[in-house]
Amino acid sequence: MDYASELIEKGKRIDGRKFDEFRAISLKEGIIKNAEGSARVKFGETEVVAGVKLELGTPFPDSPDQGILVVNAEFTPLASPDFEPGPPSEDAIELARIVDRGIRESKCIELEKLCLIPNEKVWCVFVDIHIINHQGNLLDASALASIAALRNAKIPKIENDKIIRGEFEKELPVVFKPINITVAKVGNNFILDPLLEEEEIAKAKLSISVRDDDKICAIQKQGSGIFKTEEIEKALELAIEKSKELRKLIK
Amino acid sequence: MKEIELIKNGKRIDGREAEQMREIEMQVDVVSRANGSAQVKFGNTIVVASVYGPKELYPKYLREPETGILRCRYAMAPFSTEDRKTPGPDRRSIELSKVIRIAIEPAIFLEDFPKAVVDIFVEVLQADGSTRVTGINAASLALASAGIPLKDLICACSVGKIDNTLVVDLNGKEDNFSEADMSFAMLPSKDEITLLQMDGLLTKEEVMKLIEIAKRSCKEIYELQKRVLREKYKGE
């Protein structure tokens, strides 16, 4: 057995944390001047920047009176020797789609307030996630950075159908703070905020997005291991508990 | 946002009960060139899956010395949806290909064929909700039919919440207007869950209830899968 697995069998982790303990989290908001909203999140050495940009666009025909949310993630090659330049990898697409569902399904953005002219003109909210350093648990860090960036985002002023950058109308209406918690299964133990080394030995992971009222807004099983029913219940409980702690970090 | 009533007088729009699946049809060996194949219909959803391999993996540097690898491609035919689906992989199908692979991987004895690859191709011919889980059921039959050593068959279904009611096997309309939907797959004889994907708003208790409903339905699907496979080998 490898070192990390052996330690976990004994109830310990490489960096001395408890199983349900996150690394030191740092969250800085509004760090990108040219973005309408932004946040930089660190979980230990893992580092992620999320930026929110607002553009004007045409609504989708099936939701003519609602703004549009688009989440994208870039695994920039500077962040890890495993990331390569080029179009988004399968993992980057999956991460962006999981973050997207956590935000969308929580209904935290009041998209109906982002409609300017039904069928014609709405605000498109672009959340772009850039990975700066990959030392494990990119998903929870990305989700936290995204919701923090949305919470400090502002809607720009419009004059004669043009966006005036740098001048703002009001805050982006974001009424909830969904938090994503990934529960990693190593052997028969559950750990939170896995390091890269721990992710490599985790057979399966369950990513759970929790809203302020403890409602679950998205779940995604990852990794080629399996879960028993009672393990899923335990993971949900863990995620609900832990989400409260992370939510306090966001304004 | 929601304009349509999904449950009227206790019945769903297609007349089903909450915990009733649509009519299911399964057929194996529908693609003679493949090592194994199957077509599965859940109501109007039609999916074909075929399996090629185990075969040598090229380029060679992709080979794993200790184990075989599984590749999976999920795709929708351009005519399978109401608005034409542009051919080629989009973000959704790339994610679903990964999710389907992960749902199936735990069932295969991949370590039995080091350096080799098994390819699964899943093609949606007609989409009316629950396409990924229908695809997993088709892939399960195709793998078994190809004679690939399996720990168990993989059974999958969708569950969700519509009009405040927990239901199984969502059709396209129910999926579009649901309060929550969940894709689920398991290895029934081992009671092991290999796929769990949910979006919507649910309490923890509702999630657990949906898992119970999904497990019951997967047991039914398990019997159907076994019956089709038994039919195949009866004549031989």
Residue A90 with chain B: CB contacts under 8 Å: 94-95, 97-98
Beta bridge partners of A74: A130
Q: Closest Cα to residue A45, out of A131, A109, A117, A103?
A: A131
Tokens 């949310």 locate to A69
Report how far residue B145's alpha carbon sits from residue B90's, in angstroms, rounded to the nearest whole number. 29
Grouping H, G, I as helix, E, B as strand and the rest as coil, residue A168 is: strand
Residue A211 with chain B: CB contacts under 8 Å: 201
Identity of the amino acid at B28: V
Report how far residue B85's alpha carbon sits from residue B77's, in angstroms, rounded to the nearest whole number. 7
pLDDT of residue B1: 46
pLDDT of residue A15: 94
Report how far residue B136's alpha carbon sits from residue A219's, in angstroms, rounded to the nearest whole number. 19
pLDDT of residue B3: 65
Test A217 with B91 for CB contact under 8 angstroms.
Answer: no
Residue B9 at interface with chain A, using a CB cutoff of 8 Å: no
State both tokens at B154. Answer: 């993989």
State both tokens at B69. Answer: 């690898």
CA distance A32 to chain B (A): 27
pLDDT of residue B236: 63
- What are the domain boundaries of chain A? 3-247
Closest chain B residue to A231, measured at CA: B193
CA distance A110 to chain B (A): 12
Let me know: does B228 contact B28? Beta carbons within 8 Å. Answer: yes
Q: Closest Cα to residue A214, out of A173, A250, A247, A249?
A: A247
Tokens 């239901």 locate to B167
Report how far residue B151's alpha carbon sits from residue B149's, in angstroms, rounded to the nearest whole number. 7
- What are the domain boundaries of chain B? 18-234
User: For A3-247, CATH number?
Assistant: 3.30.230.70
Tell me the CA distances in angstroms from B57 to A40, B86, B99, B213, one per residue in order: 42, 30, 22, 40
Residue B3's CB is within 10 A of a number of other CB atoms, namely: 5
Residue B105 at interface with chain A, using a CB cutoff of 8 Å: yes
State both tokens at A9. Answer: 């069998």
Test A233 with B204 for CB contact under 8 angstroms.
Answer: yes
Q: Which segments of A16-161 are extended strands (E)? A: 25-29, 37-43, 46-57, 68-74, 115-117, 121-133, 154-159
Domain B18-234, what architecture?
Answer: 2-Layer Sandwich (3.30)
Q: Where are the alpha helices (DSSP H) in chain A?
A: 3-9, 90-105, 138-151, 196-201, 229-247
Test A221 with B91 for CB contact under 8 angstroms.
Answer: no
Condensed to tens digits (0 to 9), the pLDDT of residues A15-70 reads 999 999 999 999 999 999 999 999 999 999 999 999 999 999 999 998 999 999 99
pLDDT of residue B121: 98
Report how far residue B53's alpha carbon sits from residue B4's, in angstroms, rounded to the nearest whole number. 46
Residue B111 at interface with chain A, using a CB cutoff of 8 Å: no
CA distance B218 to chain A (A): 14
Q: What is the pLDDT along chain A (251 residues), one digit of tens a residue?
A: 788 999 999 999 999 999 999 999 999 999 999 999 999 999 999 999 999 999 999 999 989 999 999 999 999 999 999 999 999 999 999 999 999 999 999 999 999 999 999 999 999 999 999 999 999 999 999 999 999 999 999 999 999 889 999 999 999 999 999 999 999 999 999 999 999 999 999 999 999 999 999 999 999 999 999 999 999 999 999 999 999 999 999 98
DSSP state letter for A60: P
Let me know: does A204 contact A226? Beta carbons within 8 Å. Answer: yes
Condensed to tens digits (0 to 9), the pLDDT of residues B123-155 reads 999 999 999 999 999 999 999 999 999 999 999
Identity of the amino acid at A145: A
Based on its alpha-carbon atoms, the radius of gyration of chain B, rounded to whole angstroms, reads 18
Element (H, E) at B93: helix B91-104
Spans of chain B, pLDDT less than 70: 1-3, 235-236
Test B192 with A227 for CB contact under 8 angstroms.
Answer: yes
pTM: 0.94
Average confidence score pLDDT of chain A: 96
Which residues of A lie closer than 8 Å to B, measured between beta carbons?
Answer: 63, 66, 88, 90, 93-94, 96-97, 101, 104-107, 206, 211, 214-229, 232-233, 236-237, 240
- CA angle, B207 as apex, B126 and A96 as ends, to 5°? 60
Chain-centre distance of CA A89, in angstroms? Answer: 17
Tell me the CA distances in angstroms from B49 to A4, A182, A244, B39, one per residue in order: 39, 32, 43, 6
Nearest neighbour of A215 by CB, restricted to B97, B196, B202: B202
DSSP state letter for B82: S
Q: Closest Cα to residue A194, out of A233, A228, A218, A222?
A: A222
Residue B106 at interface with chain A, using a CB cutoff of 8 Å: yes
